[in-house]
A and B are shown apart, each in its own frame.
Chain A
Amino acid sequence: MNVKTEVSVALVALLVAAAIGSILIVIAGASPLEVWIAVIDRTVRDPYAWGQILAKATPLVFSGLAVAIALRAGLFNIGGEGQMVAGCLACGAVGAALPAGTPAVIAIPACVIAAALAGAAIGALTGAMRAYRNAHEVIVSIMMNAIVGGVALWIGNTWLFTGGVTAGPPIAHGAELPALGIAGSSANVSVFFAALAAGGTWWWFERTKTGVEWRWVGQGPRAAATAGIRVPRAYVWVMTASGALAGLSATHAVMGWRHAYQDDLVRNLGFLGIAVALLGGGHPLGVVIAALFIGFLQNAGLAAADLVPKSLFDVLSAMIILALAAASPTVRRALEKKA
């Protein structure tokens, strides 16, 4: 993958989105320049904003990586939403089931593994449907999202939720990931887990035989199969890993932030992960940068809430995805012509 091309594609998409965003700001009755300056100024000066951006970026790194590794292997995992819910539910349930006095060395690994396994199970099922039944992974993931969402709500209502709210009991104290203490923001230790996941993903695709083979499967599945690589098996494992990464977003949402399973903890984060992966060019470092950027945008809505409606920044996030999807082939072609 050509890094220069990917960066240029992302930049062009951002410029286009910023231009359209400015028009929307004018329509909303504010001055674009004033809003942009306010957003940047208030973000840069405010440590709480930094922390919030980190906190918002953390689950996006997981869901972005999940989409990115599947893309690398030629699969489109849009099931992040369901895989994240499964991870959070398992993580919250295990965390709540642990005895109150469970030490962190046991409680944290138990919850992390539960989150990863639950996401992995959904991913593996999706991958197996694709690999052995030739059911398209996009269709399967959409259906899995609906199934997992519904089942999770049912499980929550039946066994977890108490006192008329859609929130489960708190997890054991030992399973909580401490906050980083950035001006009272919700950034927590799961930030390091996300960084580790990004580094690990990079290492996997660059330095392991299986990772390199997954890349080949993505770039030329028939050639890989003809040369003796077991493509169906690769599909199952890629989707398993992808689901596990999505599930690990529970380390932030459940273990680091809410300290309990809640019904809408990760709503839309799975879909935003698609944008993060595309914006990041599928590269782990790109995913981290893109996640921080989306986090910045989400926070910007709050930072400029007195000037324009917050929903304008939600629109802007969506527009960046659109601009990216539209710009990517055109810009890539233009750059390739020049090269």
Chain B
Amino acid sequence: MQIEADKRYGDNVALDGATLSVERGTIHALVGENGAGKSTLLKVAFGLVRADRATIAIGGQTIDPTTNTPRVARGRGLGLVQQHGALVGSLSVVENAVLGRAHGAWVELAAPAASIDRVAKEIGLEVDPWAIVDALPVGVAQRAEIAIALEAGAKILALDEPTALLTPQEVAGLFAALRTLVARGDTVILVTHKLDEVRAIADRVTVLRAGKTVATFAGDAPTDEIVRAMVGTEIARVSKPPPPRDEIALSIEGIEVKRGEIVGVAGVEGNGQRELVAAAARTIPRAALALIPEDRHAEGLVLPASVADNLALGRLDELGLAGRRAHAAALCKDFDIRPADPDAIASSLSGGNQQKVVVARELTRPGVTIVIAAQPTRGVDLAAIALIHARLRAAAEAGAAVLLVSADLDEILALAHRAVVLYRGEVAGGVDDLAAPDAREQLGALMTGARA
């Protein structure tokens, strides 16, 4: 498959001549920072987004981009598994499969169900076609989505950040299935920002930056080289904070955090992380707490308000109305918030800069002794991740007790002193030595409830 496309949203250039050329029978990774255009490029290929200009060719046949729709794309053998699951939750897997392609008054379900079962088994996946999607764990729902795409005749399967919500064991299962697919001649496009996954599975990797294709590497190219292509500069690695002090500052739901300690809370999402953060927010006096909420848009920011207002949110008694601007100017500089304009509207900032606003407001509260950071770098670009990690580390070094709730094991392994795992609303166990070679496997086992 070949594609080249331009797409603008107002003044925002999403795709600026980005190209992607994928060979049949390979796994091709598509990487880049948030906003680089990965998802948009895929959506153009699949007819979900109409490009301003595009050339698309599948198996040597060109597709007219102006009449490309999901139905057309499906007809050409394209299957897309979207980032946030595109299935209807209240319907069964097989009902989702026939959705949008059923004709006439009667819906035939038995044959498609058998067919789903067969295509899934062919690549080693177990899918119950009659299960209601809402009742399925995330990883299983994703398998169902893959099976639905294959049942619809997909020869080129694209997955948008498929591993974001999976345990290490589920990731291994997914990758095995993808390898089976390409072994029989199908093609896989894998959008990701995890470079270890690229190394693990991709034959080739294309790097997008700011809507342009920067480079295409072999899958085993050095990670540093790929990172440099992604961000254009080198990113400093954050070292672990110094050992904690022997004084417990926070004790919540059986998790104890010492002063100066970063405790990671791992777990597949939906296993009680939200409830844990909510419980902490209820019990800890707000003045002592820096709270970086999981849902940046709803809980972190007042989107229609200015950056200055957002940096003063909940802190007016301390800053005063007149103090907002100077405070904002200082924090914009200190946290590298771009644009460094106190009057900019929060909704106009990129995800990374929005998150920097939340982090800046919370970590600079005077009198903070406890930091609770929930998914602090989700959907955030690499430069912002580096800055946020450095600030969380600095907060711990300054003596705060830091609870780092994250679905990203790499983040916990890089930053935390030790980690606990939530499973079905309870602490299933912990790993004290995150430097141990099998720390990741131990956490993964706890995440699936293997060891209680």
Please list the residues of chain A having a beta carbon within 8 angstroms of any beta carbon in chain B.
207-209, 212-213, 215-216, 219-220, 222-224, 226-229, 337
Q: List 25 A–B pairs whose Cβ atoms lie within 8 Å, in order of A's numbering.
A: A207-B321, A208-B321, A209-B316, A209-B317, A212-B316, A212-B321, A213-B316, A216-B305, A216-B313, A219-B305, A220-B305, A222-B295, A222-B298, A222-B299, A224-B302, A224-B313, A226-B281, A226-B291, A226-B293, A226-B299, A227-B313, A227-B361, A228-B286, A228-B314, A228-B315
Contacts of B316 in A (CB 8 A): 209, 212-213
Contacts of A227 in B (CB 8 A): 313-315, 361
The answer to whether residues A223 and B298 also contact, given A216-B313, A229-B314 and a CB cut-off of 8 A, is: yes
Dominant secondary structure at the B interface? loop
Q: In the assembly, what is the distance between CA of A128 and CA of B286, in Å? A: 23
Residue contact B321 to A223, C-beta cutoff 8 Å? no
Given contacts A223-B302, A228-B286, A228-B315, 6 further A-B contacts (CB under 8 A): A212-B321, A219-B302, A222-B295, A224-B302, A226-B293, A227-B314
Kindly state whether residue B4 has any CB partner on chain A within 8 Å.
Answer: no
Residue contact B300 to A209, C-beta cutoff 8 Å? no
Beta-carbon nearest neighbor of A211 in chain B: B321
For chain B, residues 298 to 335, give those with C-beta under 8 angstroms from any C-beta of chain A.
Answer: 298-305, 309, 313-317, 320-321
Contacts of A215 in B (CB 8 A): 305
Residue contact A226 to B300, C-beta cutoff 8 Å? yes
The answer to whether residues A216 and B320 also contact, given A227-B361, A228-B286 and a CB cut-off of 8 A, is: no
Residue contact B303 to A220, C-beta cutoff 8 Å? yes
The answer to whether residues A212 and B309 also contact, given A219-B304, A226-B293 and a CB cut-off of 8 A, is: yes
Contacts of B293 in A (CB 8 A): 226
Contacts of A228 in B (CB 8 A): 286, 314-315
Contacts of B320 in A (CB 8 A): 209
Q: In the assembly, what is the distance between CA of A223 and CA of B361, in Å? A: 12
Please list the residues of chain B having a beta carbon within 8 angstroms of any beta carbon in chain A.
10, 281, 286, 291, 293, 295, 298-305, 309, 313-317, 320-321, 361
Residue contact B301 to A223, C-beta cutoff 8 Å? yes
Contacts of B303 in A (CB 8 A): 219-220
CB distance from B276 to the nearest CB of A (A): 15
Contacts of B298 in A (CB 8 A): 220, 222-223
Contacts of A220 in B (CB 8 A): 298, 301-305
CB distance from A339 to the nearest CB of B (A): 9
Q: In the assembly, what is the distance between CA of A299 and CA of B298, in Å? A: 46
Q: In the assembly, what is the distance between CA of A224 and CA of B361, in Å? A: 13
Q: In the assembly, what is the distance between CA of A227 and CA of B314, in Å? A: 5
CB distance from A75 to the nearest CB of B (A): 16
CB distance from B347 to the nearest CB of A (A): 10
Residue contact B309 to A216, C-beta cutoff 8 Å? yes
CB distance from A188 to the nearest CB of B (A): 36
Residue contact A223 to B300, C-beta cutoff 8 Å? yes
Beta-carbon nearest neighbor of B301 in chain A: A223
Contacts of A223 in B (CB 8 A): 298-302, 313
The answer to whether residues A209 and B321 also contact, given A222-B299, A226-B299 and a CB cut-off of 8 A, is: yes
Q: In the assembly, what is the distance between CA of A208 and CA of B303, in Å? A: 21
Beta-carbon nearest neighbor of B316 in chain A: A209
Contacts of A213 in B (CB 8 A): 316
Contacts of B299 in A (CB 8 A): 222-223, 226
CB distance from B410 to the nearest CB of A (A): 26
Beta-carbon nearest neighbor of B365 in chain A: A228
Q: In the assembly, what is the distance between CA of A209 and CA of B317, in Å? A: 8
Contacts of A222 in B (CB 8 A): 295, 298-299
Partner of A337, one of B10, B291, B317: B10
CB distance from A221 to the nearest CB of B (A): 9
Most buried by B among A209, A216, A224, A228: A228
Q: In the assembly, what is the distance between CA of A186 and CA of B362, in Å? A: 56
Q: In the assembly, what is the distance between CA of A222 and CA of B298, in Å? A: 6
Residue contact A216 to B321, C-beta cutoff 8 Å? no
Q: In the assembly, what is the distance between CA of A159 and CA of B303, in Å? A: 52
CB distance from A270 to the nearest CB of B (A): 28
Beta-carbon nearest neighbor of A227 in chain B: B314
CB distance from A206 to the nearest CB of B (A): 9
Beta-carbon nearest neighbor of B312 in chain A: A212
Q: In the assembly, what is the distance between CA of A222 and CA of B313, in Å? A: 12
The answer to whether residues A224 and B314 also contact, given A207-B321, A209-B320 and a CB cut-off of 8 A, is: yes
Contacts of B314 in A (CB 8 A): 224, 227-229
Residue contact B317 to A216, C-beta cutoff 8 Å? no
Most buried by B among A224, A227, A228: A227
Contacts of B321 in A (CB 8 A): 207-209, 212
Beta-carbon nearest neighbor of B304 in chain A: A219
Q: In the assembly, what is the distance between CA of A223 and CA of B309, in Å? A: 12
Q: In the assembly, what is the distance between CA of A222 and CA of B293, in Å? A: 11
Q: In the assembly, what is the distance between CA of A102 and CA of B315, in Å? A: 48
CB distance from A204 to the nearest CB of B (A): 12
Q: In the assembly, what is the distance between CA of A209 and CA of B313, in Å? A: 11
Contacts of A212 in B (CB 8 A): 309, 316, 321
CB distance from B449 to the nearest CB of A (A): 30
Contacts of B317 in A (CB 8 A): 209
Beta-carbon nearest neighbor of B289 in chain A: A228
Beta-carbon nearest neighbor of B320 in chain A: A209
CB-based closest 3 A-B pairs: A227-B314, A220-B302, A228-B314
CB distance from B368 to the nearest CB of A (A): 12
Contacts of A208 in B (CB 8 A): 321
Contacts of B281 in A (CB 8 A): 226
CB distance from B359 to the nearest CB of A (A): 13
CB distance from A256 to the nearest CB of B (A): 35
Contacts of A337 in B (CB 8 A): 10
Q: In the assembly, what is the distance between CA of A303 and CA of B301, in Å? A: 51
Beta-carbon nearest neighbor of A207 in chain B: B321
CB distance from A308 to the nearest CB of B (A): 43
Beta-carbon nearest neighbor of B324 in chain A: A212
Contacts of A226 in B (CB 8 A): 281, 291, 293, 299-300
Q: In the assembly, what is the distance between CA of A226 and CA of B295, in Å? A: 11
Q: In the assembly, what is the distance between CA of A224 and CA of B293, in Å? A: 12
CB distance from A180 to the nearest CB of B (A): 37
Q: In the assembly, what is the distance between CA of A209 and CA of B324, in Å? A: 11
Contacts of B304 in A (CB 8 A): 219-220
Q: In the assembly, what is the distance between CA of A156 and CA of B208, in Å? A: 75
Q: In the assembly, what is the distance between CA of A212 and CA of B302, in Å? A: 12
Q: In the assembly, what is the distance between CA of A213 and CA of B313, in Å? A: 8
Beta-carbon nearest neighbor of A209 in chain B: B316
Beta-carbon nearest neighbor of B362 in chain A: A227
Q: In the assembly, what is the distance between CA of A209 and CA of B309, in Å? A: 11
Q: In the assembly, what is the distance between CA of A134 and CA of B130, in Å? A: 38
Residue contact B10 to A229, C-beta cutoff 8 Å? no
CB distance from B320 to the nearest CB of A (A): 7
Contacts of A207 in B (CB 8 A): 321
Q: In the assembly, what is the distance between CA of A228 and CA of B299, in Å? A: 11
CB distance from A6 to the nearest CB of B (A): 14
